[in-house]
Structure 1
Amino acid sequence: MAPYGSDDTTSDDRAGNDTSTGRRKAARYVVPVAVVGVAAATIGLVPALADSGDPDLPKISAQQLIDKIAASDVQQLSGTVRFSTDLGLPDLGGLEGSLLSGANRGGDGSSADPASKFTELLSGSHTLRVAADGPERQKVSLIESAAEYSLIHDGKDVWGYDSRSNEVYHGTADQHGKQQREKTPATKTPATPKDLADEALKSVDDTTSVTVDGTVQVAGRDAYKLLIKPKQSGTTVGAVSIAVDAKTGMPLKFTLTPASGGAAVVDAGFTQVSFARPAASTFRFTPPKGAKVTEGNDAAEAPGERAPKPEGDLAEGRGGFDVLGQGWNSIATFDSGAAGGLPSGKGGGDLGGFLGSLGDKVTGGFGKGTVFSTRLVNALITDDGKVYVGTVTKNALVKAADAAR
């Protein structure tokens, strides 16, 4: 992570006058992972001291705690992470998970391809086992009912294994890294508290307050709580809380709560963690007998498997969408090219009718449209094909569409 400025950094200093502002804005708005994109919302640094609590730790300012996260350099660890996501999506009987994974996998892809598996983290509760031994060896296992999916990086090799289907994905570290860079952020699902915290701390400005909100114990370890809250009204985000290990500076727990209250939208935390070096055998993998093995280059060529490359530079806010507003109230907008509104099926099928039933009809100066809502992300699709998406209220989307008319 890049170093952060002091508590008295000015907004002009943070924003700069180059493409960094565009990068900060664009990082927040790629559906359907605004659940993670909102975690990347900007942070205005507010000095604060840790309240007394249990455990009893030395006082620390918000800036010092952020610096501690930035300086954290944990190389070896193993542990168990509980990862829960509650966007408040309609119950489709499990179909939503299949649609998310299938959209990334494509008809002829491998179920062991990591791009198709980790989208499952976007809904429900999951248990992950993680291990790392430096930059050359990592392992993440998604524990399912009577099944397990593992992604293993061991030197130059990257293996994915789905025990349910007995399928194996194999690629090289360079190849896998290239594929990850080519995929849209929607397929890059952070899987650990540190991943989520890194996203949350990528950019800074004055739209958010950051304080130290006491102390807590996570997985038996003493930790400080970093509390991130929007200063702006109109956002669906309530707060982001990050439990930071007092000794190592590594985030141990990440919780994102909505402005509407209730259960967390994202709650990811270690239930057990050790910073001892894992056994070398942890990272060794040999395809089981009879397993179907798909090489990474083959998977990349399979129909529907290669993710479309963005047109232009998304990092600078170009590439097909614009960003309206700033901070937590930023809204991504683009033209879907689907004039006439939601798509309709042929032969008696009515996809538009089905999708429309999941949304709310709205009108405004822009015309007519449909708003699709979750507990965090709202999206407006107008009848002339324009799309507005953000972690903002329905009214904010309508106002943005009116202003852009």
Structure 2
Amino acid sequence: MAPNDSAETTGIAADEATGTMAGRRRAARYVVPVAVAGVAAATIGLVPALADSGDPDLPKITAQQLIEKIAASDTEQLSGTVKISTDLGIPSLGGLAGSLAQGGDGPHGGSSADPQEKLTELASGTHTLRVAADGPDKQRVSILDSAAEYSVIRNGDQVWAYDSKSDEAYHATGDKASGHAEKRGGATTPDGVPTTPKAFAEEALKTAGPTTSVTVGGTAQVAGRDAYKLVIKPKQGGSTIGAITVAVDAKNGVPLKFTLSPSSGGKAVIDAGFTSVDFAKPAGSSFTFTPPKGAKVTEADDAKAQQQAGKRAPEFKVPGGPAGLDELAGGKGVKVIGEGWSAVAEIEAPGGRAIPTSPKSGDVPPAAQQFLDSFGDKVTGKFGSGTVFKTRLVNALMTDDGKVYVGLVTKDALVRAANSAN
């Protein structure tokens, strides 16, 4: 293995390399890593995505050069298999998400093929995905299991999602289809959920700043391809993130594997990597879809109208999860305490109302309450009293007087932030 230059680079240099990081809102320093980790409702019982099969001898490269290599990559076509393992230290979301999505109207309250509901499954456990991309407007992501397959297919302004288990399809057009799809490499689903190492890596690099150390940590071989390892670490204490390691294809600059390790040690929180990859143009048939005869088809507009009419239960969102955090960043009633990886968002509850944390209030579904209780700790301080809802990555302190403190920080760091604000 070549003795790679592990010289540190700052976020300023990273900004110059990518041209995409300048002007990020302060709050993004805690929002972005959540989006990296979470999925729809919350973002690794780690079985490694792919064990390194050797350390290739590659030319020296600096961290700055490796970031530039990622930024300059023009690869827009690929297909392959990705294994994603996630261990946030919370109960499985699959059954909970399903029961809450159905609400009081039963299974007809929504579509099992709706990506916003189905993709919550990626928030825990290990999953195998088949991915394909052909430029910015054609992507396909399929979640495979032993007896069924779930696919999201984007082709221009058309998006189809199909769940073979329930024989249900979901269809969106126009702006609803565009969503937050990535411009290169089919990195995300139309709902913005990262599904490849490239998507995870791009989100992680957005956090680079003076509080971040970026180095080259050697080489590896992933999916049969030689790669450099880019290591991103917080310089500050108090963060739940220990390190992020990205294996970058030595030839074309495409991230092949992403691993987020917690500061507490143990299994990785997220491990996503290609087990096989091909950079040839995928077959055009990969991006076409016609619902099977007899399949139930739900149109996005109809689903939205149902929700607005109150025919579906409101979505339950895990405290501190990525859903809605983009809206919180820079929003009214939000203040950021600290900076960088130890930043904490202080959020005022609407109207100063206390957030319900007891089933006696009648505002929390029993299934949701059981979920909350499984990772909540009572705490006190200058701020008063409240409950810390904790995962291995995102922690949130909900005070009894209606404030929320959330960040990628430890419980003690949350309490310190709440005390400093009072």
Distance 1:313 1:91 in 2: 24
1:40 maps to none
Q: Where in structure 1 are there 5+ consecutive unaligned residues? A: 1-5, 38-52
Say if 2:10 and 2:213, in contact at 8 Å, map to a contact too: no
Amino acid at match of 2:402: G
Preserved CA contact (<8 Å) 1:236 1:393: yes
Aligned length: 373
Matched, 1:339 2:354: yes
Aligned residue identity for 1:246: A
Deviation larger for 126-135 or 255-264? 126-135
Q: 1:180 to 1:303 in 2, by over 3 A?
A: farther
Structure 2: distance between partners of 1:61 and 1:22:
25
SS of 2:268 mapped into structure 1: coil
Note if contact 1:151-1:161 (Cα within 8 Å) is conserved in structure 2: yes
Q: Is 1:25 the equivalent of 2:27?
A: yes
Aligned 8 A contact 1:100 1:120 in 2: no
Please tell me whether residue 324 in structure 1 is matched to residue 337 in structure 2. Answer: yes
The whole-number CA distance in structure 2 between the counterparts of 1:350 and 1:132 is: 40
In 1, the alpha carbon distance for the partners of 2:100 and 2:346 equals 22
1:400 alignment counterpart: 417
Give the direction of change, closer, same or farther, for the CA distance of 1:243–1:34 in structure 2 (3 Å limit). closer
Report what 2:49 is aligned to: none
Residue in 1 aligned with 2:58?
Answer: 57
> Tell me, what secondary structure is at the counterpart of 1:199?
helix
Displacement of 1:222? 0.4
Q: Which residue of 1 aligns with 2:46?
A: none
Tell me whether 94-103 or 112-121 shows the greater mean CA deviation.
Answer: 94-103
Give secondary structure in 2 for the equivalent of 1:196.
helix
Other-structure match for 1:171: 172
Deviations 1:318-376 (A, max 9, x none): 234221110010111212244276243368x9959754464111111111111111111
Which segment drifts farther, 169-178 or 127-136? 169-178
SS in 2 for 1:223: strand
Identity %: 57
Whether the 8 Å contact between 1:341 and 1:382 is mirrored in structure 2 is no
- Structure-to-structure mapping, 1:242-261, within 5 angstroms: 242-261=246-265
1:118 matched to which residue of 2? 119
Checking the alignment, whether the CA contact within 8 Å between 2:36 and 2:194 is kept in structure 1 is no
**Equivalent pair of 2:29/2:340 in contact (CA under 8 Å):** no
- Partners of 1:359 and 1:315 lie apart in 2 by 22
Which amino acid in structure 1 is aligned with residue 277 of structure 2? Answer: V
Structure 2 CA distance for partners of 1:324 and 1:79, relative to 1, 3 Å: same
SS of equivalent to 1:28: helix
Quote the residue 1:296 is aligned against: 300
Alpha carbons of 1:86 and 1:178: their partners in 2 closer, same or farther (altered >3 Å)?
closer
Query: Secondary structure of the residue that 1:232 maps to in structure 2?
Result: coil
Aligned partner (choices 383, 393, 397) of residue 366 of structure 1: 383
* Contact 1:109–1:299 (8 Å) recurs in 2: yes
RMSD: 3.6
How many Å separate the matches in 1 of 2:29 and 2:177?
21
* Structure 1 residues 313 and 378: CA distance shift in structure 2, 3 A: closer
Contact 1:24 1:203 survives alignment (8 Å) = no
- Could you say what secondary structure the match of 1:345 adopts? helix
| Cα deviation digits, residues 365-400 of structure 1 (max 9, x gap) | 111111111111111111112111111111111111
Partner of 2:406, secondary structure, is: strand
* Distance of 1:324 and 1:225 partners within structure 2: 32
Q: Which residue of 2 aligns with 1:89?
A: 90
Of 355-364 and 76-85, more deviation after overlay is shown by 355-364
Contact map agreement 2:157 2:177 (CA 8 A) in 1: no
- Where in structure 1 do 4 or more consecutive aligned residues deviate above 4 Å? 6-11, 19-22, 30-34, 99-103, 178-181, 304-308, 310-316, 349-354
Whether contact under 8 Å (2:36, 2:203) holds in the other structure is no
Q: Distance in 1 between matches of 2:369 and 2:156?
A: 50
Q: Cα distance, 1:270 vs. partner?
A: 0.2
CA drift at 1:36: 4.6
Is residue 392 of structure 2 the alignment partner of residue 375 of structure 1? yes
Bigger mean CA offset, 258-267 vs 361-370: 361-370
Q: What residue identity is the alignment partner of 2:95?
A: L
Q: Is the Cα contact below 8 Å between 2:77 and 2:133 reproduced in 1?
A: yes
**Partner residue, 1:197:** 201
Residue 111 (structure 1) shift:
1.6
The yes-or-no answer on 1:153 pairing with 2:154 is yes
* Cα distance change on mapping 1:166 and 1:31 into 2, 3 Å: farther
1:244 and 1:251 in contact (8 A); partners too: yes
CA change 1:127–1:250 in 2 (3 A) is same
Q: Does the 8 A contact of 1:106 with 1:303 survive in 2?
A: no
Question: What is the alpha-carbon distance in structure 2 between the residues aligned to residue 158 and residue 386 of structure 1?
Answer: 38
User: CA separation in 2, counterparts of 1:59 and 1:179?
Assistant: 36
Distance of aligned partners of 1:166 and 1:124 in 2 relative to their CA distance in 1, 3 Å threshold: same
Q: Deviation of residue 99 (structure 1)?
A: 6.0
For residue 286 of structure 1, what is the aligned residue in structure 2?
290
For 2:28, give the aligned amino acid: A
